[in-house]
A and B are shown apart, each in its own frame.
Chain A
Amino acid sequence: MPLPLEGIRVLEVGTFVSAPYCGRLFAGYGAEVIKVEPPGGDISRAHGPFKDGVPDPETSALFLYLNTSKRSVELDLGSQAGRDAFLRLAADADVIIENYRPSDARALGLDYERLRPVNPRLVLVSITAYGQEGPYAEYRSNNLIAFAMGGQMFLTGDPDKPPVKNGGYQADYQGGLNAFSAANLALLAAERDGEGQHVDISVQHCMAPILEAGVPFYSYNGLWLGQRRGNLMSSFMGVYPCLDGQVGVHVMARNWPPFAEATGHPEWLEDERFATAESRREHDDVLMAEVIAWAAGMRKKEAYALGGEFRAPITFIHTMEDLLESPQLEARGFLRRIEHPVAGEASYPGPPWWMGPDAWRDGPAPLLGADTQAVLAEAGLSESEIAAAAGAPA
């Protein structure tokens, strides 16, 4: 069985996280992804964390992870020769993914008006902080700023402290996954009638629908709490310290009896203060103290096992070590061992979803410019054209 996206050719002119994550998903599910890197390489190569803490453009964990199964072409889009070469590649591509500010993208020759004439079925996917148009379209942004402008940051953190972002590059990853879904819808449409389009992803707009009940309660009911709630959202939803880490609970009304059983507190079920969801909310402080005391005496894996046994939504905070040791991930083969010629062997997350045993592939991230010659020669460029397009050695 061919891979789900076999036969699709993608050019990724992306830097850092959002466009490369989108490209990683394309590559994993079988598309040929050609990563077009500026002379010197994607900035994530300079970012780390590096193997053994020693900076090396081929051993940045961020780059290694985001660029699995891709080819790398070093191309100077700042030069006419580089832009000409890129147009040759674009003529034969199904998808281009880019994440520059609109004016920067135009300067690099990535505008749809220029690309469409050479390839009308092309799907150009632009991931930006704010979208292609509007008063902030040219504003500078990054993961932290996008997290703030999308409304997620204000909600995150402790009530008596400043807002804080989530770990890593969550706004950028959201942009990448949104773009992957949108790009595949556009591909479906293009395969139907041979016509491409310019897909416009605004990370800010992608965030608005995922603020949980915040938007609908405000928009419809006029309610807005306006407060961060930290780890202690309520007695039935939170993260609590335990003997060797933290446990998390998320108890909906129907999980209350199993939760009381799993925690070894069947007497809670007889307690009038905790008889209904409403009365539990009324006595939230009392119940929270009980839950905190319960957690404090537990080991994390023991609490998790009890949750499983009693069907109560109790988990523990998995560190990266816990993920590598997870029997669940092990049984499902989610962690993939990948050998990289410079960085060596390491474990990588597998596919975001499974669709049969042979639907995902695990190639290492490419060395910088490893495929420049082969890809540009395939596109019909001469040796001297290739040298000019790739730019001066960094």
Chain B
Amino acid sequence: MKAPLAGIRVVDLTMVWAGPFGTRLLGDYGAEVIKVEGPGQWDLLRGLGGIPRTVDRWYNRAAYFNHNNRNKYSAAIDLRQEAGRDLLLQLLAKSDVLVENYRANVMDNLGLSFEEVRAVNPRIVYVSMPGHGKTGPEAHYVTYGTNVEQLAGLVSVSGYEGGEPLKTGFSYGDPTAGLAVPAAVALGLRQRNRTGEGVHIDLAQRENLTGFVGEYLVDYSMNRELRAPAGNTHPHFAPHGVYRSGGEDRWITIACENDEQFAGLCRAMQREELAEDERFATVAARKANEQELNAIIEEWTSTWGHYEAMHILQRHGVPAGAVLTIPEVMSDPQLRARGAWSEQVHPDAGAWEVETPPWKLPRTPGHARIPAPGFAEHNSYVFRDLLGLDEETIARLYADGVTADEPNVQSHT
């Protein structure tokens, strides 16, 4: 059975993480994604691979770039030149979807606004995903992933109990915006199929992420009280936290939501008397004496490996999970059993393991089909096969620097 997005062509102008992750998901689920970079305006992740620039085609070898751009084709077009803009519009005329994540006014300045694209393709689903959205007084502000989580309100409620607001562990705003892209595109395609008309989707990364802390906003709006960071604690339940386990910097999470689970924890620790102890016998008592309880639990967890403790606790019906490091995520038996990794071979970068498409749609599965493209690898497919340009025209595009087979390595130093 065909993948859900089979037959859908996507022109991908996105760079770095949020956009490329979103379009990678489109490719995972069957769309033909053509990533367009300028000879001098290439995706800067190509340069963030730690590959010495003395190595041949270093710009095709960066793990971070290759990770976010599998299942895509690559064409080089300089959109700042009139001929490049024309070329892109020809491609868009034969496509279903455009995705871009430039700052709000960049596409307009390139002469590639929704209206201008719609003039050549009235059925285009045009997805913009700038940090602040396409409109508003802050639309032109520059913003990246860690800024997004700060603007979204998430950082203000994150952190250790009683502590300062805390960053997430990475540029969390980026992938959370990317995750919305398949749904936004699906809704856009649905609307297009129904009305015959294209649609402009404006996905402001900060607004999308504010949706992940909506209850705090409703709460504040009703009660006018700001909530301090709560660390790993839960408003009602204890134990609910992270505990040191055996090994250097290894930890396990445990979360008991009722008496039955707590009794299981006591049995697992061979401390059954604690379930009857008046300090811990009820949900309210455990919450009131949380610190004391946590110390007792950590005494036990620190004698076990985090995985071992997890398995023991789960056998007693206790919600518990190891705090996995990245190497542990990659070797985790559950993810292995699910088929979460597959080997991919890249002609320049070699073989390594990548995640498989995350969602199982058994009748219309996604696949990690092709590795990330080398720079301009599919120029010929796009210019000759798709656009039907003759050799003379193509030669002129190269001569004028509208396209190239290699990136200008002077940019992004």
Contacts and interface: CB of A to CB of B under 8 A. Distances in A.
B212 A173 contact: yes
Contact of B170 (A158, A212, A319): A212
Interface string B14-31: 000100010001000100
Contact of A331 (B136, B152, B252, B320): B136
B322 A148 contact: yes
A134 interface: yes
19 contacts: A5-B187, A51-B223, A139-B319, A147-B253, A148-B251, A151-B326, A167-B159, A177-B176, A195-B363, A199-B361, A219-B330, A250-B147, A315-B141, A320-B219, A320-B226, A320-B227, A321-B220, A352-B211, A356-B199
A287 interface: no
A62 B191 CA distance: 31
Given A307-B142, A321-B226, 12 more contacts: A25-B183, A139-B310, A161-B160, A185-B364, A199-B360, A205-B340, A220-B349, A239-B150, A248-B146, A311-B142, A319-B226, A355-B187
Contacts of B113: none
B352 A332 contact: no
B154 interface: yes
A188 interface: yes
Contacts of B335: 204-205, 208
Contacts of B359: 178-179, 181-182, 185, 199-201, 206
A167 B219 CA distance: 14
A163 interface: yes
Interface stretch (A83-91, A222-230, A379-387): A222-230
A95 to B, nearest CB: 12
Contacts of A254: 44, 412
Contacts of A166: 154, 158, 168, 172
Nearest to B346: A220
B361 A211 contact: no
Contacts of A347: 217-218, 221
Given A189-B361, A312-B142, A231 B166 contact: yes
A103 interface: no
B302 interface: no
Task: Give the 5 A-B residue pairs with the shortest CB-CB distance, closest first.
Answer: A155-B169, A167-B157, A320-B220, A210-B175, A220-B63
Interface in A120-150: 130-137, 139-142, 144-150
B2 to A, nearest CB: 8
B188 interface: yes
B115 interface: no
Given A163-B323, A319-B153, A332-B133, A65 B142 contact: no
A391 interface: no
A389 B48 CA distance: 59
Contacts of B29: 185
A184 B185 CA distance: 9
Contacts of B226: 319-321
Interface stretch (B72-80, B229-237, B274-282, B378-386): B229-237
A333 B188 CA distance: 21
Contact of A149 (B147, B211, B236, B324): B324
B333 interface: yes
A154 B338 contact: no
Contacts of B363: 189, 195-197
B220 A178 contact: no
A139 B4 contact: no
B223 A52 contact: yes
Contacts of B181: 181
Given A164-B159, A164-B242, A149 B322 contact: yes
B220 A181 contact: no
B120 interface: no
A315 B150 contact: yes
A168 interface: yes
A318 B153 contact: yes
B55 interface: no
Interface string B299-335: 0000000000010001001111111111111101111
B166 A239 contact: yes
A237 to B, nearest CB: 6
A210 B221 CA distance: 31
Contacts of B179: 174, 177-178, 181, 206, 210
Nearest to A338: B218
Interface stretch (A72-80, A265-273, A322-330): A322-330
A274 interface: no
B63 A162 contact: no
B396 interface: no
B377 interface: no
A350 interface: yes
A5 to B, nearest CB: 7
B167 A239 contact: yes
Interface string B205-227: 00110111111111111110011
A180 interface: yes
A271 B249 CA distance: 39
Given A221-B50, A248-B155, A139 B314 contact: yes
B182 interface: yes
Contacts of A157: 160, 166, 169
A117 interface: no
A241 to B, nearest CB: 7
Contacts of B186: 181, 184-185, 187-188
B320 A145 contact: yes
B276 to A, nearest CB: 23
Contact of A313 (B147, B188, B361): B147
Nearest to B140: A308
A241 B167 CA distance: 12
A198 interface: yes
A213 B180 contact: no
Contacts of B189: 188
Contacts of A343: 222
A367 interface: no
Contact of A228 (B169, B213, B361): B169
A1 B195 contact: yes
Given A167-B154, A315-B150, A214 B170 contact: yes
A162 B244 contact: yes
Contacts of B46: none
B158 to A, nearest CB: 4
B137 A348 contact: no
A316 B150 contact: yes
B330 A215 contact: yes
Contacts of A344: 222
Contacts of B412: 253-254
Nearest to A343: B222
B145 A348 contact: no
A318 B156 contact: yes
B200 interface: yes
Contacts of A321: 220, 226
Given A133-B338, A184-B182, A228-B169, A320 B216 contact: yes
A346 B321 contact: no
A294 interface: no
A239 B165 contact: yes
A331 B137 contact: yes
A148 B321 contact: yes
A156 interface: yes
A305 B133 CA distance: 17
